[in-house]
Amino acid sequence: MAKPQRIEVNESANISVVRFKDQKIIDPVAIQELGQELFELVEKEERRKIVLNFGNVEFLSSAALGKLITFEKKAKRIGAELILTNISPEIYQVFAITNLDKLFKIMDGEADALAVL
Amino acid sequence: MASSNSNAERTLRASLPSNLTDYHAFIQTTLDHLAQLGWGKCELFGIHMALEESISNAIRHGNKEDPAKRVQVECRLSPSRFWISVCDEGAGFQPESVPDCCAADRLEVIGGRGLALMQAYMTRLQYNDRGNCLVMEKVLAGPSPNGACCCE
């Protein structure tokens, strides 16, 4: 993959830890690029254990949620495991309001996810 | 953007173009005013969400990003009340026709979460009969019906 613009990916024992570069995930072009970069992780690079670290994310729109749902569906279809971590209370509330806390596997910290993947 | 201030209430008005980038400055200005009026971080997050979803819905679904159409926004701000009207030039829609995106069998459906988020964060939300104008209100003293405010 060309150097990603929206995410930073680090490998740790066959687990890909993804951090978001944008603090606010709102812009439609940025969301489109973010989706493509996430999709490539499972579709082209065949990564099968992924942690999405939201530590840098202060705000995200429902359009960004939609892209994350698409990513979750692709990952599930391919057989990749996905865990979301380091979600702020405000962002977690967005997941809870929309019941997406029941769709995604969410853990407190990156270490928690690395321990179970 | 036009604005008027008094000690108790500030009014912001804007006619926004139908693209998905130019409205962010209006949102930031509104949030800055609310912060000056003493609104806290968690309430500002919910209002940010309501502004983002209502205006982007008007541009995307209402005006269908038609550059010939505008979105008219008016905000009335006070230390305890946030009020907003968002009107687009589209055909309108019936909010009750939007499927419940939060239902267990619809969690993987991509869209439809903006309305649920606005309802959760606001005290009151109402569309006109045509469905192209939305009025929302958040009253600081009263919890929203779903209790979506404090994140502690």
Contact B119, B146 (CB under 8 A): yes
User: 1.10.1280.10, 3.30.750.24, 3.30.70.660, 2.60.40.420: which CATH number matches A7-116?
Assistant: 3.30.750.24
Q: Within 10 A of B25 (CB to CB), how many other CB atoms are there? A: 12
Give me the residue spans of the domains in chain B: 2-139
Alpha-carbon distance A34 to A69, whole Å? 13
Q: Whole-number mean pLDDT of chain B?
A: 90
Q: Do A99 and B102 make contact, defined as CB atoms within 8 angstroms?
A: yes
Contact B48, B27 (CB under 8 A): yes
pLDDT (tens digit per residue) in B42-69: 999 999 999 999 999 999 999 999 999 9
Instruction: Please report the sign of the dihedral spanned by the C-alpha atoms of residue B48, residue B49, residue B50, residue B52.
Output: positive
Alpha-carbon distance B121 to B144, whole Å? 6
ipTM of the modeled complex: 0.92
As a three-state string, the secondary structure of B69-109 is CEEEEEEEECCCEEEEEEECCCCCCCHHHCCCCCCHHHCCC
Digit-by-digit pLDDT tens for chain A (117 residues) are 678 899 999 998 899 999 999 999 999 999 999 999 999 999 999 999 999 999 999 999 999 999 999 999 999 999 999 999 999 999 999 999 999 999 999 999 999 999 999
Beta bridge partners of A97: none
Assigned architecture for domain B2-139: 2-Layer Sandwich (3.30)
Contact list in B for residue A92 (CB cut-off 8 A) is 151
Contact list in B for residue A89 (CB cut-off 8 A) is 42, 151-152
Contact A66, A60 (CB under 8 A): no
Distance from CA of B115 to the nearest CA of A (A): 9
Contact B117, A66 (CB under 8 A): no
Contact A104, A84 (CB under 8 A): yes
Helices (H) and strands (E) counted in chain B, each on its own, are: 3, 6
pLDDT (tens digit per residue) in B67-92: 999 999 999 999 999 999 999 999 99
Q: Do A98 and B117 make contact, defined as CB atoms within 8 angstroms?
A: yes
Question: In the structure encoding, which two tokens stand for residue A31, read together?
Answer: 């969301």
Q: Does A63 touch chain B (CB under 8 A)?
A: yes
Say whether A51 sits in a helix, a strand or coil.
strand
> Residue B59, class by beta-carbon neighbours within 10 Å (0-12 exposed, 13-18 middle, 19+ buried)?
buried
